[in-house]
Amino acid sequence: MSTRTPVARLRAHVGATVTIAGWVHRRRVLKSVTFLVVRDRSGTAQAVFGEPPEVTEETVVRLTGRVTDNPRAPHGVELTDPELEILCTPARRPPFDLYRPEVPATLPTVLDHAAFALRHPLLRKRFELAAASVAAFRAALDDRAFTEIHTPKIVATATESGANLFRLDYFGRPAYLAQSPQLFKQAMVGVFERVYEVGPVFRAEPHDTARHLAQYTSLDAEFGFITDHRDVMAVLRDVVAAMAEAAGPAAPAVPSPIPAVDFGAAQELLARHTGEDPRGEPDLSPAHERWLGAWAEREHGSAYLFVTGYPMAKRPFYTEPDPADPARSNSFDLLFRGLELVTGGQRRHRYSDYLAVLGDSAGQYADYLTAFAHGMPPHGGFAIGLERWVAQVLGVTNIRGTTLFPRDLHRLRP
Question: Closest CB to its own copies among 99 and 192?
Answer: 192
Cα dihedral sign, 138-139-140-143: positive
Whose Cβ is closer to its own copies: residue 60's or residue 357's?
A: 60
One of 11, 28, 100, 150 touching its own copies (CB under 8 A): 150
Q: Is 99 in the site for its own copies (CB under 8 A)?
A: no
What span, in angstroms and rounded, lies between the C-alpha atoms of 282 and 262?
A: 13
Indicate the residue among 89 and 361 with the shorter CB distance to its own copies. Answer: 89
**Nearest CB to its own copies, comparing residues 70 and 157:** 157
Q: For the window 359-398, what string marks contact with its own copies as x by the rule CB under 8 A?
A: --------xx-xxxxxxxxx-------x------------
Between 59 and 319, CB nearer to its own copies: 59
* Bridge pairing between strands 43-49 and 34-40: antiparallel
Please identify which residue in 27, 66, 160, 199 interacts with its own copies, judged by CB under 8 A.
Answer: 199
Residue of 174, 175, 181, 189 lying closest to 159 (CA atoms)? 181
Q: Is 37 in the site for its own copies (CB under 8 A)?
A: no
Q: What angle do CA 116, 122, 126 make, to 5 degrees?
A: 95
Q: By CB under 8 A, is residue 357 in contact with its own copies?
A: no
Residue 200 lies near its own copies (rule: CB under 8 A):
yes
To its own copies, the closest distance from the beta carbon of 387 in angstroms equals: 9
Residue 273 CB burial class (10 angstroms; 0-12, 13-18, ≥19): exposed
Q: Nearest Cα to 203, choosing from 173, 163, 156?
A: 163
Could you tell me whether strands 379-385 and 215-224 are parallel, antiparallel, or unpaired per DSSP bridges? antiparallel
* Position 140 contacts its own copies (CB under 8 A): no
Chosen residue from 31, 173, 272, 298 binding its own copies by CB under 8 A: 173
221 to 260: interface string for its own copies, x by CB under 8 A: ----xxx---x--x--------------------------
d(CA 271, CA 27): 59
Our finding on whether 16 is near its own copies (CB under 8 A) is no
Residue 141: phi, psi to the nearest 5? -80, -35
DSSP 221-260: EEEES-SSHHHHHHHHHHHHHHHHHHH-TTSPPPPSSPPE
Query: What is the smallest separation between the CB atom of 31 and its own copies, expressed in angstroms?
Result: 28
Q: Which of 10, 103, 159, 194 binds its own copies (CB under 8 A)?
A: 194
59 binds its own copies (CB under 8 A): yes
Taking CB under 8 A as the criterion, the residue among 107, 175, 358, 394 binding its own copies is 175
Distance CA 394, CA 77 (A): 30
